[in-house]
Amino acid sequence: MKIEVRDVVKSYKHKTVLKNITFTMEGPKIIGFLGHNGAGKTTFLNLLAGLIATTDGTILVNGDNVFNTPSTLRDICFIAESGNFQEEMTIAQALKANSFFYPKWDEQLAQRLLQVFALNPKEKVRSLSKGMVSALGIITGFASNAAITIFDEPYIGLDVAARSMFYDLLIDQQIDNPRLYILSTHLIDEASELFEEIFILQEGQLLLQKTTDEWHKHIVAVKGNATDVAAAIVDLEIIDQHMFMQEMTAIVHTGGHPIEGYNVTLESVSLQDMLVYLSKQKARSGK
Ligand SMILES: Nc1ncnc2c1ncn2[C@@H]1O[C@H](COP(=O)(O)OP(=O)(O)OP(=O)(O)O)[C@@H](O)[C@H]1O
């Protein structure tokens, strides 16, 4: 599966939410689609799922424009943050409706997951707790067998045990039946081990696209005394810089160039920390 996003713009009245986004996603793979509140993640995922139209630009899935080729949408299962189920349906009816839409629907898996998440198929969506709606979304996403399966904040209201079941399921499914998963979440530390590639959106723009391996090579924390750190990071893009006690830490983008021959230590930067640095950057820029 290949998603090609070319010069995509999405505006609402006077507000441009996505600003000329261009990238390619290819799977099977588990992708972390990350960014601050309001960065534009849900908007983009809605575009990809064909639920809203772009203002400009194109999104191609295996070469077909998602808006002009409705059949492509049967390869894309988007589980929205708030759940996209009809309130008056029972769980069984909601699953049935999805089974009609997705040609590769796995009913056995759906039934097994209903038990795993202890959902009663006769219960109405309207009466479900937030966590139960999330569980229904997770069941639908996995059972859809859609080549592109998108989970936008899939586990609102789910406790740690249920979230852990979700991660285990994702890994099992990816081994048994690989697909392109796009996972948008704010619980980054929990999920970061799963990601094979990371996309970070900031203020409607793509800030970073890296495989996990590239991430560890390209984004590093350089630590040491101020003079040594300053020497080591000359010409590098500085994402953040701070002093603690006598030690300077600079978070830099190395551009793939090794930092060698300096009296500094290098540490990897977690995704969660990176997002914190980016929000500091945003606050400094006053936007
Ligand atoms: N229908 C709409 N009309 C006007 N503005 C909108 C609409 N939908 C989203 N926006 C705006 O677009 C921006 C991006 O919102 P979006 O929900 O895509 O961000 P997000 O990255 O998913 O955020 P979060 O992590 O909080 O869910 C926000 O400023 C939001 O107010």
The answer to whether the CB of 54 falls within 8 A of the CB of 20 is: no
If you measure from the C-alpha of residue 211 to the centroid of ligand 1, how many angstroms do you get, rounded to a whole number? 26
Whether residue 39 has its Cβ less than 6 Å from ligand 1: yes
To test the ligand 1 pocket, which listed residue (9, 11, 12) has its Cβ within 8 A of the most ligand atoms? 12
The answer to whether the CB of 167 falls within 8 A of the CB of 161 is: no
Residue 65 exposure: Cα atoms within 13 Å on the Cβ side: 9
With CA atoms as reference, report the closest residue to 194 among 35, 28, 30, 27: 30
Domain contains 208: no
Domain of 15, in residue numbers: 2-203
Report the alpha-carbon angle 258-252-210, nearest 5: 80
Domain contains 94: yes
If you measure from the C-alpha of residue 37 to the centroid of ligand 1, how many angstroms do you get, rounded to a whole number? 8
Q: Are residues 247 and 159 in the same domain?
A: no
Q: Which atom of ligand 1 is nearest to the CA of 81?
A: 27
With a CB cutoff of 8 Å and minimum separation 6, the contacts of 7 are 20, 21, 22, 56, 57, 58
Whether residue 40 has its Cβ less than 6 Å from ligand 1: yes
Domain contains 131: yes
The answer to whether the CB of 27 falls within 8 A of the CB of 180 is: yes
pLDDT for residue 285: 66
SS3 224: strand
Q: Which of the listed residues 144, 178, 203 is the one where a domain comes to its end?
A: 203
Q: Are residues 39 and 172 in the same domain?
A: yes
Q: Which CATH number covers residue 191?
A: 3.40.50.300
Q: Are residues 220 and 127 in the same domain?
A: no
Q: Are residues 155 and 232 in the same domain?
A: no
pLDDT for residue 250: 94
pTM to 2 decimal places: 0.90
Q: Are residues 48 and 180 in the same domain?
A: yes
Q: Given 3-state DSSP classes, what are the helix, strand and coil percentages for the chain, each rounded to the nearest 5?
A: 35, 30, 30
Torsion of CA 150, 151, 152, 155, to 10 degrees: 180
Number of structural domains the chain divides into? 2
Q: Are residues 251 and 125 in the same domain?
A: no
Q: Are residues 37 and 175 in the same domain?
A: yes
pLDDT for residue 98: 96
Q: What is the pLDDT along the chain (287 residues), one digit of tens a residue?
A: 999 999 999 999 889 999 999 999 998 999 999 998 899 999 999 999 988 999 999 999 999 998 888 889 999 999 998 778 999 999 999 999 999 999 999 999 999 999 999 999 999 999 999 999 999 999 999 999 999 999 999 988 899 999 999 999 999 999 999 999 999 998 888 888 899 999 999 999 998 898 988 888 888 999 999 999 999 999 898 989 998 888 999 999 888 888 999 999 999 888 888 888 877 776 666 55
Q: Which of the listed residues 203, 230, 261 is the one where a domain comes to its end?
A: 203
pLDDT for residue 283: 66
Q: Are residues 19 and 134 in the same domain?
A: yes
Domain contains 132: yes
Q: Which of the listed residues 203, 237, 256 is the one where a domain comes to its end?
A: 203
Domain contains 209: no
If you measure from the C-alpha of residue 40 to the centroid of ligand 1, how many angstroms do you get, rounded to a whole number? 6
Q: Are residues 138 and 260 in the same domain?
A: no
Q: Are residues 265 and 171 in the same domain?
A: no
Give the ipTM: 0.96
The residue nearest atom 1 of ligand 1, judged by CA position, is: 12
Whether residue 101 has its Cβ less than 6 Å from ligand 1: no
If you measure from the C-alpha of residue 47 to the centroid of ligand 1, how many angstroms do you get, rounded to a whole number? 12
The residue nearest atom 31 of ligand 1, judged by CA position, is: 38
Q: Are residues 145 and 255 in the same domain?
A: no
Q: Are residues 232 and 198 in the same domain?
A: no
